[in-house]
Structure 1
Amino acid sequence: MIPLNLTLKTVSISSTLALGLFLSIPLAKSSFTDQTKNSIQNSLSERINQPFIGDLEQIRKRRVLRVLVSYNGTNFFHTIKGQRGLEHDLIKAYEKYLNRGPRKELYKTHVIFLTRPFNKLFDELLAGHGDLIASGLTVTKERKYAVDFTDPYIKNVQEILVANQNSPVITKLEDLSNKQIIVVANSSYIIHIEQMNQALGRLGLPSIEIIQANPILEAEDLLEMVNAGLFEYTVVDDHIAKIYQHVYNKLVLQQDIIFHHGGEIAWALNKNLPNLKHSLNNFINTYAKPGKFLGNSIYQKYYKNPFWVKTPLSLTALDETPCLQYYFEKYAEFY
């Protein structure tokens, strides 16, 4: 689990690193003065931080694709060798796809990852503070009222009950009556537990008490808390629970207690952006959907091989990396 006193630091440093890593301002080949650096920072900072909603053509002109992510141990995280995660790897592959062909560096579109708490992702997208959400989102009809989704890149997801080994055994829905379940704030799990509560109500039984976790906590953090006995139950996607069983040996995956089955995971974007959606769908259906080599290999890397979940998340790597000067000088070579 990410130490709470360090998580916000990671977010802010990540944004600073982005200014250097994905610099895309045309410059003459010259020595870097403080004024030049400030001009670069200000111009890119405006494109990152000012509200903007536009289709692919406008994004290409801005040369920046802002991807909203949440920080966790499978989708997006930092290591001493750089950023990693299923969403990171897929989006970086899309960046290459977007810039395919003899496109000069001057005209390439660069990805910038913006880390946010999970419960802030949709608000940030709708406010124009990001172009895309890539954070293991389950497609729901409630979410589709507000945003658009790409074609899924993970299918047949089950939302299952996960218990501590010392918790009372749950064999049927009625056993959950009057029990507490902790879940990720503003997640699809809440919607589906509420549907179960309606079924309990029809049986005349007390409902499940839904505890929304601190917004900064992810499903992986809640699994650690259940493993430690701080809570008895949580609900998560089955592929997340299965990989973390390699780390937390006190978890019991109750795969017969399913809150939602056949789920689909996709990227979210604002409505009425047909060209961006078409480009993303072409990439997913050609390279990233289930059965395609890229999608299969990245899924295996993060959700079948337990190496990364057994490796502590690195928060010091960012402090050890010079933030801006190296990247200003590197990208000046192209301009």
Structure 2
Amino acid sequence: MFAYAASESSNQPNSNDLLHFPFYIKEPFTGDLAEIKQRKIIRALVTYGKSDFHLANGQPLGIQVELLNLYEKFLNKGIRRDVNKTKVKIIPVHFDQLIPALLEGRGDIAAAFLTATPERKKQLRFALGNAQDINEVLVSHKETQRPNSWRDMAGKKIYVMAGSSYAEHLAAINRLFKRNKLKAIKIIEGDSKLLSEDILELVNAGVVDYTIVDDYKAHLWAKLFTELRIDKHIRASEGQNLGWAVRQNNPKLQKNLQAFVDQQVKQGSLLGNTLLNRYFEHTAWVKRLANSEDRARFNLYAPFFKKYASEYAFDYLAIVAQGYQESGLDNSKVSHRGARGIMQLLPSTAKQMGYKDLSDPEQNIAAGIKYLDWLRTHYINQDDIDDSERMALIWAAYNAGPTKMKRMRRLAEEMGLDPNRWFGHVEIAAGRIIGSETVRYVSNVYKYYIAYTLASDIEQQTQQ
């Protein structure tokens, strides 16, 4: 039913109209509803991920896409001619950029389930009710010691999404701890590219012990991530009302959004099993990296990864993460296409890299890393690419092939996106060209990389 930014005669989204970013991306605009209707464009800032917004075979999918589709119809009620309608345009950003981008005039709505915290209310107006009576609860791995109350969390680490209300509410708890002479909770804000569902995957993997997340999201993901435990009696906040946000100087837009929420959005139907579950059915699983078999493989092959990653100036854990995604670090694995071993290389590719025996784990890893260097040298070689983005682009080229990578970067530039950034930019073009496979691939490798990095940090701390 994704009739999003489409013509009146179509029930399918017009993906060309949806993601070509002309003047309304490049020029800041902070006008209220009347000026928005005069422009006939309303820009919705969304987070790119499995649940809120993503592209599959060029089609926009996600919870916020459906809500924005409904809002576009609400906004244009009574307007018959398509040319006179105000169209919703999606602009994907990282979660920690939602509010800054809104304030800078790069969007008109922050279309995410945001908590109206006191700090946020100083800058924003909220249309609340997209999700009601939400509690922020502690989620932990089943094998961690179960806390009875917040006092049991004194001195413990809690890993939360960067820029979220969770960190703000934990800071308030720490102020209470200080007055009661308790050790402060160690609040660790995650990598800005990780959403709360990504952090839940890390908890499920046993790499992170504790996080805070909205209870509805915790319960939905717990259906998939069976190692999670929801400590619903330990709450960072209670009875929150979540919704979209606009700038303070847009009261008419806020009033219109609130009318839409009040009339058409009901938590029990739209945000219950009928909508949310649709986007939580398919997700990449994170195996528990701490289990003995995986750990044994890591210990066995780590010296090879370190040796050749160092030779070509790569972070060896980034390559281990890719090997884990490719094969689970299982050198006996052979794909239906004939790709072999830990790095899942074709014999022809390995031969070009100067290696013949892919059944030898050292040669397999060496050939894979040399091929990654070849991709970097010939295709991802611009000086102004950030290191983390460069690695993501190389991973994508490894998965999709260098020719498709050139197409993806070219399309990203045509769409007004940055061809030198994967996350929130080239990955969107990738979704249009080849669907979700490469997007999921890079996302998984990046999460494995974060997981291995966290596990390595924890191990180093215990050895000190």
Taking structure 2 as the reference length, what is the TM-score of the superposition?
Answer: 0.57
Q: Deviations over 1:44-95 (max 9, x none)?
A: 6112321000111111121111000112222223334722222211111010
**Aligned partner letter, 2:251:** P
Q: Which residue of 2 aligns with 1:286?
A: 263
Query: What are the Cα deviations for residues 93-141 of structure 1, in whole angstroms up to 9, with x where unaligned?
Result: 0101111224311111111111111111111000000000011101111
Q: CA deviation at 1:282?
A: 1.4
Kindly indicate whether residue 240 of structure 2 is the aligned counterpart of residue 269 of structure 1.
no
The reply on whether 1:20 has 2:134 as its aligned counterpart is no
More strand by share: 1
Query: Once the 2 structures are TM-superposed, how far is the Cα of residue 287 of structure 1 from its aligned partner?
Result: 0.8
Query: Which secondary structure state, in structure 2, belongs to the residue aligned with residue 265 of structure 1?
Result: strand
Partner of 2:279: 308
Q: Take 1:274 and 1:195, find their aligned partners in 2: how far apart are those partners? A: 29
What is the CA distance between 1:18 and its match in structure 2?
Answer: 8.4
| Whole-angstrom distance in 1 between the partners of 2:170 and 2:279 | 30
* Contact 1:243–1:309, Cα closer than 8 Å, also in 2: yes
C-alpha deviation, 1:202, in angstroms: 1.9
SS in 2 for 1:143: helix
User: What amino acid is aligned across from residue 141 of structure 1 in structure 2?
Assistant: P
Amino acid at match of 2:115: T
* Residue 65 (structure 2) aligns with: 88
Quote the Cα distance in structure 1 between the aligned partners of 2:140 and 2:73.
41
Q: 1:98 aligns with which of 66, 72, 75?
A: 75
Question: How many positions carry a matched residue from both structures?
Answer: 280
Q: CA RMSD in A?
A: 2.2
Contact in 1 for aligned 2:45/2:93 (Cα 8 Å): yes
1:195 aligned residue: 172
Q: Which amino acid aligns with 2:95?
A: F
- CA distance in 1 between counterparts of 2:226 and 2:15 reads 41
Q: Given the superposition, is the C-alpha separation of residues 18 and 53 from structure 1 closer, same or farther in structure 2, using an over 3 Å criterion?
A: farther
AA at the equivalent of 1:196:
I
- Match of 1:151, SS state, is strand
1:19-98 aligned at under 5 Å gives the runs 20-22=16-18, 45-80=22-57, 82-98=59-75
SS of the residue corresponding to residue 200 of structure 1 reads helix
Alignment partner of 2:194 out of 217, 221, 228? 217
* Counterpart Cα distance in 2 of 1:156 and 1:63: 34
Which sections of structure 1, spanning at least 5 residues, go unmatched? 1-16, 24-40, 322-335
Local SS of the residue matching 1:48:
helix
One-letter amino acid of the counterpart of residue 20, structure 1: N
Looking at secondary structure, tell me which structure has more helix per residue.
2
**Superposition pairs of residues 204-243 of structure 1, within 5 angstroms:** 204-243=181-220
* Aligned counterpart, 2:96: 119
Q: Give the distance between the partners of 2:158 and 2:270, measured in 1 at CA.
A: 33
- Counterpart Cα distance in 2 of 1:240 and 1:154: 11
Residues of 2 paired with 1:115 and 1:240: CA distance?
Answer: 21
Task: Provide the residue aligned with 2:433 in structure 1.
Answer: 319
The one-character-per-residue Cα deviations of 1:132-181 (angstroms, maximum 9, x if unpaired) are 00111011111000111113221100000000111121111111011100
Q: Counterpart amino acid of 2:84?
A: Y
State the Cα distance separating 1:273 from its structure 2 match.
Answer: 1.8
Contact 2:79 2:85 in 1 (8 A): no
Verify the 8 A CA contact 2:46 2:110 in the aligned structure 1.
yes
Q: Which runs of 5+ in 2 are unaligned?
A: 1-12, 285-426, 436-464
DSSP 3-state at the match of 1:297: coil
The whole-number CA distance in structure 2 between the counterparts of 1:297 and 1:235 is: 24
Q: Which residue of 1 aligns with 2:270?
A: 297
Q: Any idea what SS the aligned residue of 1:319 has?
A: helix
Partner of 1:251: 228
How far apart, in 2, do the equivalents of 1:137 and 1:85 lie?
16
Kindly state the Cα deviation for residue 20 of structure 1 after the two structures are TM-superposed: 2.4
Residue 18 to residue 233, structure 1, CA distance change in 2 (3 Å):
farther
Answer with 282-291 or 55-64: which moved more.
282-291
| Secondary structure in structure 1 of the residue aligned to 2:272 | helix
TM-score (norm 1): 0.78
User: Aligned equivalents of 1:318 and 1:71: distance in 2?
Assistant: 14
User: What SS does the aligned partner of 2:50 have?
Assistant: coil
Amino acid at match of 2:116: V
Contact kept, 8 Å, 1:86 with 1:299, in 2: the verdict is: no
Aligned-partner SS, 2:22 = helix
Which residue does 1:138 correspond to in 2? 115
SS in 2 for 1:275: helix
Match for residue 167 of structure 1 among 130, 133, 144: 144
Q: Answer whether contact 1:47 1:62 (CA < 8 A) is retained.
A: no
For residues 301 and 85 of structure 1, do their structure 2 counterparts lie closer, same or farther at Cα, with a shift above 3 Å needed? farther
Structure with greater Cα Rg: 2
Deviation at 1:317, TM superposition (A): 4.1
**Structure 2: distance between partners of 1:137 and 1:51:** 23
Given candidates 83, 102, 106, the residue that maps to 1:129 is 106
Contact between 1:18 and 1:113, CA under 8 Å: does it hold in 2?
A: no
Q: Distance in 1 between matches of 2:69 and 2:229?
A: 35
